[in-house]
């Protein structure tokens, strides 16, 4: 029953399909009750019923469009006042046209609202209580394209924000028992690609990961306390070298005078 082995409540956005639905299944199996958030109420209810039956967990749903300001605030209010929330998985995300000059401005704004604004506001909604209780975790789903613009500057820019935002959160919770993880998927087989107007089958299949494998790896990373989880990266030393080089580069950016090459 839901009172046994209860780890609290996990909030999962973008939960009606793909990565979010798999997170919901795995977390219910680990002993979490769930709050599932997505636009498609019928698919949320169908998933919720399956999880209740399979795991005897309490599962509630919030049908919301995270590109809509009022809907975001409604979700914020619900999770900010729920003392049982111990985990937030910011998974909801939108892709779109890679070319800025021909992008639909309204669709671009929707992407930014979901990928950046909603993620930020929902994190802000739960973080104070997690810190006060010294317990829980926030998982932000970014993308390897945070470090590459081949899928377009708007999408890549939103995911770069998620990485930087999450790194700052990690500093903020340092010294507490609150975990903050950023997950960087590569090409993952979900309906995200079709919704973004792309065909994942055109990619080399040796670089395409199944969503189940991605989520399982990310959860292992979370359990191990990883700050940055890249499921497709075989050599973690490369991540350490990249992060170290970036920090060293940042340290060289400050001076009291412009560099000599800018002298008139």
Active site amino acids: 155
Transcribe 168-236 into DSSP letters. HHHHHTTTSS-EEEEE---SEESTHHHHTT--GGGS-GGGPEEHHHHHHHHHHHHHTT-SEE-TT-S-H
- Residue pair 102/47 in contact by the 8 Å Cβ criterion: no
Place of tokens 């790194």: 167
At 255 the three-state DSSP class reads coil
Q: Is 157 exposed, middle or buried (0-12, 13-18, 19+ CB in 10 A)?
A: middle
d(CA 34, CA 40): 16
In degrees, rounded to 5, the angle at the alpha carbon of residue 248 between the alpha carbons of residues 243 and 253 is: 125
Alpha carbon distance 7, 25 (integer Å): 14
């Amino acid at each position: 029953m839901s009172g046994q082995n209860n780890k609290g409540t996990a909030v999962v956005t973008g939960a009606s399909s793909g990565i979010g639905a798999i997170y919901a299944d795995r977390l219910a199996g680990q002993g979490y009750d769930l709050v599932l958030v997505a636009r498609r109420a019928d698919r949320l209810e169908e998933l919720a019923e399956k999880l209740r039956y399979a795991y005897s967990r309490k599962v509630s749903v919030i049908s919301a469009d995270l590109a809509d300001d009022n809907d975001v605030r409604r979700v914020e209010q619900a999770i900010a006042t729920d003392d049982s929330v111990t985990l937030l998985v910011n998974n909801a995300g939108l892709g779109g046209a890679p070319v800025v000059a021909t992008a639909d401005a309204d669709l671009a704004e929707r992407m930014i609202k979901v990928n950046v604004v909603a993620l930020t506001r929902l994190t802000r909604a739960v973080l104070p209580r997690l810190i006060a209780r010294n317990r829980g975790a926030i998982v932000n789903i970014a993308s390897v394209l945070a470090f590459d613009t081949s899928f377009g500057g708007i999408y890549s820019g939103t995911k770069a924000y998620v990485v930087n935002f999450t790194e700052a959160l990690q500093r903020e919770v340092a010294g507490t028992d609150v975990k903050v993880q950023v997950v960087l998927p590569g090409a993952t087989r979900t309906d995200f690609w079709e919704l973004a107007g792309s065909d994942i089958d055109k990619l080399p299949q040796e670089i395409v990961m199944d969503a189940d494998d991605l989520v399982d790896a990310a959860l292992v990373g979370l359990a191990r306390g990883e700050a940055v989880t890249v499921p497709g990266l075989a050599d973690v030393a490369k991540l350490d070298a990249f992060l170290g080089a970036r920090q060293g580069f940042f340290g060289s950016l400050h001076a009291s005078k412009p560099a000599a090459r800018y002298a008139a």
